[in-house]
């Protein structure tokens, strides 16, 4: 790649070159440590004499902006880059639109990697459990497949091999009724939600979702201009009878309500499907971590109970594998299929094929099910240890919300416990705790904690809870 220099005419070439290089360095466009082309190569690129380039380099070296390294080349000095004074920004015609986006909550994106000794962060898995050797072998297979193919964009709906593998997997594991033709491969579940929102929501569209609920979904719907109704939940899930007339889209997490954790009862599922049919509303079923079930029989997915083609089933591999892979999918209802495929193509054309080929191989050779079974045992042990601590040492302060799946638990505070203050005090003893409050759109009736056990090791749970208990006892002492 050539260095961008634009010389005018045939006079003062060395001065022009010097000034353009200096401007690039001063503005930061040419970063400190950047290697400049050799004088002979740059002279050939610019169509000037080598002496012209050498003179400009010499002046910049004299100014301490360049330095030469024997046998390596000429580099911009590390201390030379500085920003020039910025000009006053002009008012933008789109300022109000930008302000709306800036006002959107970015809760989960703000959860930076923790440096705490113990961390109960939700939605995170342990990389120790990830089958890197199996995934590496599948990636090598993927590279061979790409090498054999043409250097063209792939199908926007996803590789047929992966769509068929996903259809077989969720039919086996979740009883979902679909074929590969119904699958749309996405960059994580979040893109699936975005695509569905794009094709269904216009400014003023009515959307109903659980409260508390998944904050990124709420912010996504609001960003599309939806009027969002926040429907309360009880021990059976969303209170379906409160879904308002005129609702066009309903978002739920029936298998493991996010963030509280209770499953939606069978009666409530049937009521939700009936309400959606009466409204002509599409249901987004976000089945984000139901692969990990610890007790009772698995509940039917909404999609498998749907006889009217109203449920868009959304799944992800971020929980079973790694969030960094950004692999998810949606099972498209027939009415949405064409629109969703067009939206996907216009958004990013298709999900990277290297990851798709690797995942298709990973699923088809049985590595995914093997991995789920193995980590299920790990998460089950962690969950049991966390439950024991919450129901014994922490029982005076917290009540666990019953949950049968996933890898987080929610605990509601008893009495007038100041959860936010507890969280700040726990960080001082190297324990990361997280509040349920940000997941509520309306004022919560009870405060509480979301306790993830996907990323904390089994042997760390007891000492972490001991520190939380000791902190709570100190807070009680201060209050008395």
Q: Are residues 209 and 331 in the same domain?
A: yes
Closest CA to 76 of 115, 30, 111, 118: 30
Q: Are residues 350 and 378 in the same domain?
A: no
Q: Report pLDDT for 81.
A: 46
Residue 109: its pLDDT value, please?
A: 55
Instruction: Give the residue numbers spanning the domain of 142.
Output: 131-365
Q: Enter the tokens of residue 149.
A: 């193919």
**Residue numbers of the chain with a pLDDT score lower than 70:** 1, 80-87, 105-114, 479-480
pLDDT of res. 87: 67
pLDDT at 1: 65
- pLDDT of 123 reads 85
The verdict on 138 and 234 lying in the same domain is: yes
Number of domains in the chain: 3
pTM exceeding 0.85: yes
- Which residues pair with residue 208 across a beta bridge? 229, 250
Q: Are residues 337 and 411 in the same domain?
A: no
Alpha carbon 407 to its chain centroid, in Å, reads 16
- Distance (Å, whole) CA 438 – CA 441: 8
* Residue of 378, 374, 442 lying closest to 230 (CA atoms): 442
Is residue 356 domain-shared with residue 400, that is, in the same domain?
Answer: no
Instruction: Mark whether 354 and 410 lie in a shared domain.
Output: no
In this prediction, residue 298 carries a pLDDT of 74
Q: Are residues 162 and 269 in the same domain?
A: yes
- CATH number of 241's domain: 3.40.640.10
pLDDT at residue 477 in the model: 81
Helix spans in 93-208 (H)? 95-102, 132-148, 160-174, 188-200
């Amino acid at each position: 790649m050539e260095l961008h220099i634009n010389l005018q005419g045939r006079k003062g070439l060395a001065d022009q070159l010097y000034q353009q290089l200096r401007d690039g360095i001063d503005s930061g466009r040419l970063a400190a440590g950047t290697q400049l082309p050799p004088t002979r190569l740059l002279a050939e690129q610019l169509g000037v004499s080598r002496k012209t380039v050498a003179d400009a380099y010499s002046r910049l070296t004299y100014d301490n902006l360049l330095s030469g390294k024997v046998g390596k080349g000429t580099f911009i000095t590390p201390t030379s880059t500085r920003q020039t004074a910025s000009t006053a920004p002009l008012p933008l015609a789109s300022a109000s639109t930008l302000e709306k986006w800036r006002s959107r909550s970015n809760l989960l994106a703000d959860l930076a990697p923790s440096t705490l000794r113990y961390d109960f962060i939700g939605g995170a898995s342990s990389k120790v459990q990830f089958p890197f050797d199996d995934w590496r072998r599948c990636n090598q297979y993927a590279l061979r497949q790409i090498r054999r193919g043409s250097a063209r964009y792939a199908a926007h709906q996803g590789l047929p091999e992966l769509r068929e593998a996903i259809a077989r997997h969720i039919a086996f594991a979740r009883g979902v009724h679909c074929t590969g033709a119904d699958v749309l491969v996405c960059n994580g579940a979040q893109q699936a939600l975005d695509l569905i929102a794009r094709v269904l929501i216009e400014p003023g569209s009515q959307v109903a979702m659980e409260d508390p609920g998944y904050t990124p979904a709420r912010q996504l719907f609001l960003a599309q201009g939806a009027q969002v109704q926040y429907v309360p939940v009880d021990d059976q899930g969303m209170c379906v009878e409160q879904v308002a007339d005129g609702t066009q889209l309903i978002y739920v997490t029936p298998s493991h309500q996010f963030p509280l954790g209770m499953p939606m009862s069978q009666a409530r599922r049937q009521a939700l499907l009936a309400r959606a049919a009466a409204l002509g509303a599409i249901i987004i079923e976000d089945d984000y971590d139901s692969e990990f079930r610890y007790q009772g029989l698995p509940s039917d997915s909404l999609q498998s109970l749907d006889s009217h083609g109203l449920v868009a089933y959304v799944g992800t591999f971020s929980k079973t594998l790694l969030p960094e892979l950004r692999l998810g999918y949606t099972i498209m209802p027939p009415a949405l299929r064409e629109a969703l495929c067009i939206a996907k193509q216009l958004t990013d054309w298709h999900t990277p094929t290297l990851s798709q080929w690797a995942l298709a191989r990973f699923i088809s050779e049985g590595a995914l099910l093997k991995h789920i079974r193995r980590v299920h045992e790990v998460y089950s042990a962690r969950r049991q240890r966390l439950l024991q601590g919450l129901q014994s040492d922490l029982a005076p302060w917290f009540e666990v919300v019953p949950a049968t799946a996933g890898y987080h638990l929610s605990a509601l505070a008893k009495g007038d416990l100041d959860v936010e203050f507890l969280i700040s005090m726990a960080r001082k003893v190297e324990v990361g705790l997280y509040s349920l409050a940000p997941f509520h759109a309306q004022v919560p009736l009870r405060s509480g904690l979301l306790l993830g056990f996907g990323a904390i090791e089994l042997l760390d749970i007891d000492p972490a809870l001991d520190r939380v208990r000791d902190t709570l006892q100190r807070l009680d002492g201060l209050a008395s």
